[in-house]
Structure 1
C-alpha cells in the first residue's frame, strides 16, 4: 500500500506557503527604488542636466506614512490617498516627484515595517516609469535616533539616505535630517554627510547652478530661523551653523515635511518650505502635495489639497500662492 506521508507533507508545505503569503505581502521588484546610489540619482544624467533648458515643475510630497491612521493596524486610508496622488502624478507629468520622508509609519525594527514597505513599493510602482520618483528618509524610516543598522535597512528598500542630482540646470541636494535631529546613534554618518554637503555646495556654485534646492524630512525651522528647539525643527546647535553654510552658498530653498501641515519661513533670501502630508493631517491643511515651478530666475510653489488639484499645470502662468 502506497504511503500517504509524501502527500501529507506536500499539503502542509502548500498550506504554510499560502499562510505566509497572506500574512507577508510579496514585495514588488524594487529596482525603481534603488535609483539613489553612489550619492547620486541614476535617472538623471548629470552632464546633460547641468545646463538650463526650460521652465519645468516637480511635485513635492511628504509623510505618506502607511499605518499612521490606524496605529499600524492597517493602511487602507493611506493606500487610498496615495493612489489618488499617483493618479494626479500620471496626469500632470512632472519632471520628477520627491517624497520627503516618513514613507512608512513603522520603523525598521517594527514587525509591520516590511508589510508597509511592500505596500509603498506596490502603490508607487504605478507612477509612470518615465517620471522619476525620488525618496527621502524620515525619522520613521530610520528611527528617531538613527543607527548604522537602521540606515542600512532603509537603504536596502529605498536607496541612499543622502545624495544629489541635477535637473535642468538646478542642483538638488537630499539630506538625512534624522542625523541632524539626533546624531548620537550615528555620529559618523552626520560627519560624513557634512563633509559631502560642503563639497556639493562648492561644486554647484562652481558649475553656476541656476538654483540650489535642498530636500529633507525635518524642517530646519518652521517660521523663524532662531526659534526655540522643539520636536518639529532641527536643534539650534546644528541648525545655526548649517543655515550660515546654506546662506553662504546661496541655497534658494529647503523643502521638508514632518509637520503634517504647511509652514513657511525665511533665512535671509532662502525659503524654508514645510509641506503638509499625503497621509494623515495634524492641522487644518488637508492631505495633499506641493507643486513647484522652476524658472530661470526663481521658483514658485503652491500646496494643493487632494480634491483641488488642477487638471494641468501652465508653466508660464502658475501662481506662487502658498
Structure 2
C-alpha cells in the first residue's frame, strides 16, 4: 500500500510539472524584465530585430467554447519565431478571450502557457496585458490575477541601447475602479522617460494593448483608442521625451498614424482577424538611427530577416 502511494505521488508530480509554465512567465517583476541584463543592455551593440504579436485571444473564435484555432495559429507563429530568432518577442495584450472572473479563463491561460513555452528558451517572451486580461474596467483584483499568471502589468527594460516601456493601457482606457493604479503608473512613467533621456537611449519604444489613436492624434473617442482626455497629455509627454514609436494591438487589424515624429503602430492579430488583414505578426528592425517594420501574414513570413540598413528610410508599411 505504501509503495502504491509513493508511485501515485510520483505520477501526480510528473503530471503537475508537465503542465506548469516555465519561468519565462515570471520575468516581469519589480517593474523590470529579468531576462535582460540592465548594465549590458544599455549599450548599443548592433542592429537587431524583434517580433511583435497581438491578440492571440484564446477562445475568441468559438466564444470561449474552445481554443483550437487560436492554438493552431499560435503554434504556427512559434515555428516562425524559432526559425527567425528575434532578439525578443512581445505580445501586446488580449492573451485570453475570457476575463479573470469567467469560467474558461484558467484553461485559456494554461493553453497560452503551453503554446508560448515552445518558443526557444533563449528568446525572451514579453507579455503585455489587454482589456480581456484585466477587464474593460480593471480593478486591483483583476490586475492581481494577471500578475499571478504573467508578471507585472507595467514595466521597462533595456535591449541593445534601446529603452522599452510597457504600459497597462486598460487603466488609461477606463480608470474608474483603478485610479490609484493609473496614478502610480503615470508617476512611474515620467521617471522612466527621464531615465531613458539621461542614459541617452538610441530609441525609446512604448508597448501597450490599446492604440493611443488609429490614424490621427485628435481623432474622436471610440472603442479602439484611448479617450482624448488622457490621450492628449500622454502624447505630449511622450513627444517631449522623444519617444520614437508606440506599438499596440486591440484593433485586430493594422493601422498607422503619427504624432509629429512619433509613430503609432497598430498591429493585427495572431488570433482572429476583424478586417482584411489576416492572422500574422510584425517584424521590427532596429537600426542605430531608425526603425523599419512590416506586418506579415502567417502564410507569407520570409525565411530569414536581413539587417542591412538602407541609405534612406522607406515609407513604413502598416
- The residue that corresponds to 2:41 in the other structure is 49
Query: Which of 69, 81, 85 lines up with 1:93 in the alignment?
Result: 85
Q: Give me the whole-angstrom Cα distance separating, in 2, the residues matched to 1:311 and 1:300.
A: 18
Q: Give me the whole-angstrom Cα distance separating, in 2, the residues matched to 1:203 and 1:76.
A: 43
Q: Give me the whole-angstrom Cα distance separating, in 2, the residues matched to 1:194 and 1:186.
A: 13
Q: Does 1:301 align with 2:293?
A: yes
Query: Which of 51, 66, 88 lines up with 2:58 in the alignment?
Result: 66
User: What residue ranges of structure 1 are gaps of 5+ in the alignment?
Assistant: 1-5
Query: Which of 246, 251, 259 lines up with 2:251 in the alignment?
Result: 259
- The residue that corresponds to 1:187 in the other structure is 179
Q: Give me the whole-angstrom Cα distance separating, in 1, the residues matched to 2:24 and 2:289.
A: 32
Deviation at 1:317, TM superposition (A): 5.7
- The residue that corresponds to 1:278 in the other structure is 270
- The residue that corresponds to 2:279 in the other structure is 287
- The residue that corresponds to 1:125 in the other structure is 117
Query: Which of 305, 308, 321 lines up with 2:317 in the alignment?
Result: 321
Deviation at 1:28, TM superposition (A): 2.0
Q: Give me the whole-angstrom Cα distance separating, in 2, the residues matched to 1:37 and 1:187.
A: 21
Contact 1:261/1:283 (<8 A) preserved:
yes
Q: Give me the whole-angstrom Cα distance separating, in 1, the residues matched to 2:283 and 2:271.
A: 17
Q: How does 1:130-209 map to 2 (within 5 A)?
A: 130-209=122-201
SS at match of 1:264: strand
Contact 1:68/1:105 (<8 A) preserved:
yes
| Residue-pair matches, total | 305
Q: Give me the whole-angstrom Cα distance separating, in 2, the residues matched to 1:177 and 1:317.
A: 32
- The residue that corresponds to 1:108 in the other structure is 100
SS at match of 1:47: helix
Deviation at 1:30, TM superposition (A): 3.9
Query: Which of 69, 77, 87 lines up with 2:69 in the alignment?
Result: 77
**CA distances 1:187-237 after superposition (whole Å, capped 9, x unpaired):** 100000000000000010000000000000000000000000000000000
Q: Give me the whole-angstrom Cα distance separating, in 1, the residues matched to 2:60 and 2:148.
A: 22
**CA distances 1:159-212 after superposition (whole Å, capped 9, x unpaired):** 000000000000000000000000011110000000000000001000000000
Q: Give me the whole-angstrom Cα distance separating, in 2, the residues matched to 1:185 and 1:170.
A: 33
TM-score (norm 1): 0.92
SS at match of 1:135: strand
CA RMSD of aligned residues (A): 1.9
**CA distances 1:81-112 after superposition (whole Å, capped 9, x unpaired):** 00000000000000000000000000000000
